[in-house]
């Protein structure tokens, strides 16, 4: 089953603050580009029942993607911001069906390293319960990967996003907004939305052509 009337379906995983209801601006940015946008909500967030943890968020995210694919078909992309980038990475590599492509906005490499950098005066690495190891999760993901880095990010210092990007296998593309912060990056990304979607589609077309030639 193909997605009809849309370029594709996008499942968006939001950051730690707020809920999916606070991210309607994604709809305003992406639906005019022809993308059906699903704003995923986590267990324990936005009035949903459940206890947040890496296991519960990832399991629920994979079920959301499974349902979206069953309802709307391909192509299906997974996007995530901050915490949502860590969830999106785990969801995109689901064994029951990987995402067509992945977009990571202000992502970290892994949570213990990030926690230790932010709270250097504590044994923070050993205090976090979940690892959210995005770098390790994506080592075998062959789909196209986009990373957006905010140069003035004080929540996820750019070095951690750079470390992740350097470790990702091709194909990948980096967008850096030097003046952007963790919470205002979207104000700098007017052209980025369209460029990102076009790049993801070009990578999918190239992969399909390569497969046909083989």
Q: Check whether 4 has a pLDDT greater than 80.
A: no
pLDDT per position as a tens digit, 166-210: 999 999 999 999 999 999 999 999 999 999 999 999 998 887 676
Contacting residues for 157 by C-beta, under 8 A, at least 6 apart: 114, 117, 118
Residue 17 scores a pLDDT above 80:
yes
Pairing of strands 8-13, 145-150: unpaired
Q: What is the pLDDT of residues 59-109, one digit of tens each?
A: 999 999 999 999 999 999 999 999 999 999 999 999 888 999 999 999 999
User: Which pLDDT score, from 0 to 100, does residue 3 have?
Assistant: 52
**Hey, what are 158's tokens?**
């750019």
Whether residue 212 has pLDDT greater than 70: no
| Residue 80, beta-bridge partner list | 13, 104
Give SS3 for 74: strand
Q: What is the reported pTM? A: 0.94
Burial of 59 (0-12, 13-18, 19+ CB in 10 A): middle
Question: For 103-129, what is the mean pLDDT?
Answer: 91
Distances (CA, A) of 211 to 7, 39, 90, 140: 21, 32, 26, 18
């Amino acid at each position: 089953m193909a997605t009809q009337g849309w370029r594709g379906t996008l499942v968006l995983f939001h950051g730690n603050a707020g809920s999916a209801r606070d991210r309607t601006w994604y709809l305003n940015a992406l639906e005019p580009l022809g993308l059906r946008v699903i704003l995923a909500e986590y267990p324990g967030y936005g009035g949903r029942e459940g206890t947040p943890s890496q296991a519960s968020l990832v399991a629920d995210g994979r079920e959301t993607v499974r349902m979206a694919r069953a309802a709307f078909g391909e192509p299906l992309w997974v996007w995530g911001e901050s915490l949502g980038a860590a969830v999106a990475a785990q969801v995109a590599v689901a064994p029951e069906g990987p995402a067509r492509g992945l977009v990571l906005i202000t992502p970290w490499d892994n949570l213990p390293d990030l926690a230790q950098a932010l709270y250097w005066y504590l044994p923070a690495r050993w205090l976090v319960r979940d690892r959210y190891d995005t770098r390790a999760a994506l080592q075998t993901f062959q789909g196209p990967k986009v990373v957006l880095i905010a140069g003035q990010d004080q929540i996820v210092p750019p070095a951690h996003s750079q470390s992740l990007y350097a470790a990702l296998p091709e194909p990948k593309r980096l967008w850096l907004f030097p003046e952007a912060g963790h919470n205002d990056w979207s104000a700098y990304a007017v052209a980025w939305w369209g460029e990102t979607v076009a790049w993801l589609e070009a990578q999918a077309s190239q992969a399909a052509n390569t497969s046909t030639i083989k």
